[in-house]
A and B are shown apart, each in its own frame.
Chain A
Amino acid sequence: MKKIITILTLVFLSNTTLAKDNSSKILFKVNGMVCSFCAQGITKKFNKMDEVKSTKVNLDKMEVTLILNRGKKLGKEKIKSTVEEAGFKYVEGK
């Protein structure tokens, strides 16, 4: 019985993980992004895009993480131009 519960739990957890993994992430650095007030343009512009589910900004590392909607892709050139429209410099991700 314990084995069945363990297997079922593992199956449930793996499905949950798979569901989360359907959203892909893009990480890149943004030079000049020193204050949250100035960086509002970045979150506003990316969050308007159909491809983007959410935008996270890490000011300590000056990094932006885009969580994309399921099945969506976003090219490097579009990311770069969006960052530049917000007034910053795009630096390619790791």
Chain B
Amino acid sequence: MKKIFFFLTSFIALDVQAHPVSFQDSMGIMGYHNPKMSHLQLNYSWKYWLATGLHHFSIRPRSQDKVKNANFFSTNLVLKRWNGSNYQANLYTILGAGRSDISGSTQDAGLGVFQFDIEDRKYYFLTKYAHIQNPDDAELKQTTVRIGLAPYVGGFDDIHSWFILEWQKNNIINSKVDEDVTSYLRFFYENVLFEIGYSFDGNAKFNYITHF
């Protein structure tokens, strides 16, 4: 049953990877999934710089491990946005509180994420650090760096595509630290964005975002 739940949540997995805050009065659904971890996020943006979010993490570092979960309420903030004449850059933070059993026993935990991204119509760069902490230990430390390139520059009504290369380091409590590099294809059209990736160590990944 848990395997089925993990599988299902994986494919509606929600991610913080791109838009922790969207335009005022909008709802966002974001997903990130790989065989080791899925992160689901729902958020509501009260302002273009302030959102509240709900998070669900499902973590299984190795296929034989039991699935561990963490759930949080969060406040998502745009700390700084630079709207340039041909680029946009953002500094975000997510601060959350909830419960987690990643360490083995269920206890109170906090979630902290810092993210910086910058993009123009051709290039994209993102770096992110995510941390889940219980009163005694760091349960998850995740560092992500991404670079992206658009093979063509599309118009507003076109389907857009990007090549993205991602490096990620995961330090999950009681597990070996692992690093991997993943190549992604990103597509978006109107308010739907999804990414299909395959890591160098053989893991398929699937992410998506929509806001409305």
A residues sitting closer than 8 Å to B (CB atoms) are 31-42, 44-45, 56-60, 62, 84-89
B131 contacts chain A at the CB level, 8 A cutoff: no
Secondary structure call for the B interface: loop
On whether the beta carbons of A36 and B157 are closer than 8 Å, the reply is: yes
Contact partners of B78 in chain A: CB under 8 A: 87
On whether the beta carbons of A39 and B160 are closer than 8 Å, the reply is: no
On whether the beta carbons of A37 and B83 are closer than 8 Å, the reply is: no
Taken together as a complex, chains A and B put the C-alpha atoms of A31 and B84 apart, in Å, by 5
Given contacts A35-B121, A37-B193, whether A59 and B155 have CB atoms under 8 Å apart is yes
On whether the beta carbons of A32 and B157 are closer than 8 Å, the reply is: no
Q: B88 CB to closest chain A CB, in angstroms? A: 4
Closest to B49 in A: A87
On whether the beta carbons of B23 and A45 are closer than 8 Å, the reply is: yes
Q: What are 21 pairs between A and B in contact, CB < 8 Å?
A: A31-B84, A36-B190, A37-B160, A37-B188, A37-B193, A40-B23, A41-B23, A41-B24, A41-B26, A41-B211, A44-B23, A44-B26, A58-B155, A58-B156, A59-B154, A62-B85, A85-B23, A85-B47, A87-B22, A87-B24, A88-B83
Q: Given contacts A36-B189, A40-B23, A84-B48, could you give 11 more A-B pairs where the C-beta distance is less than 8 Å?
A: A32-B84, A35-B121, A36-B156, A36-B160, A37-B160, A41-B48, A42-B23, A85-B23, A85-B24, A86-B23, A87-B23
Mark contacts of B17-40 with chain A using CB atoms, 8 A cut-off: 1 yes-contact digit, 0 otherwise. 001011111100000000000000
Taken together as a complex, chains A and B put the C-alpha atoms of A42 and B48 apart, in Å, by 12
Mark contacts of B147-163 with chain A using CB atoms, 8 A cut-off: 1 yes-contact digit, 0 otherwise. 00000011111101000
Q: A50 CB to closest chain B CB, in angstroms? A: 17
Contact partners of A59 in chain B: CB under 8 A: 121, 153-156
Identify B156's interface contact among A39, A86, A89, CB under 8 A: A39
A-B contact count (CB 8 A): 88
Interface centre among B26, B49, B83, B190 (most CB of A within 10 A): B83
Taken together as a complex, chains A and B put the C-alpha atoms of A59 and B121 apart, in Å, by 9
Contact partners of A86 in chain B: CB under 8 A: 23-24, 48
On whether the beta carbons of B22 and A41 are closer than 8 Å, the reply is: yes
Contact partners of B7 in chain A: CB under 8 A: none
Taken together as a complex, chains A and B put the C-alpha atoms of A60 and B21 apart, in Å, by 25
Closest to A31 in B: B83
Contact partners of B189 in chain A: CB under 8 A: 36
Q: A24 CB to closest chain B CB, in angstroms? A: 21
Mark contacts of B85-96 with chain A using CB atoms, 8 A cut-off: 1 yes-contact digit, 0 otherwise. 111100000000
Contact partners of B21 in chain A: CB under 8 A: 87
On whether the beta carbons of B190 and A40 are closer than 8 Å, the reply is: yes
Taken together as a complex, chains A and B put the C-alpha atoms of A41 and B51 apart, in Å, by 15
Given contacts A59-B121, A84-B48, A85-B24, whether A38 and B88 have CB atoms under 8 Å apart is yes
Taken together as a complex, chains A and B put the C-alpha atoms of A86 and B212 apart, in Å, by 12
Taken together as a complex, chains A and B put the C-alpha atoms of A57 and B154 apart, in Å, by 12
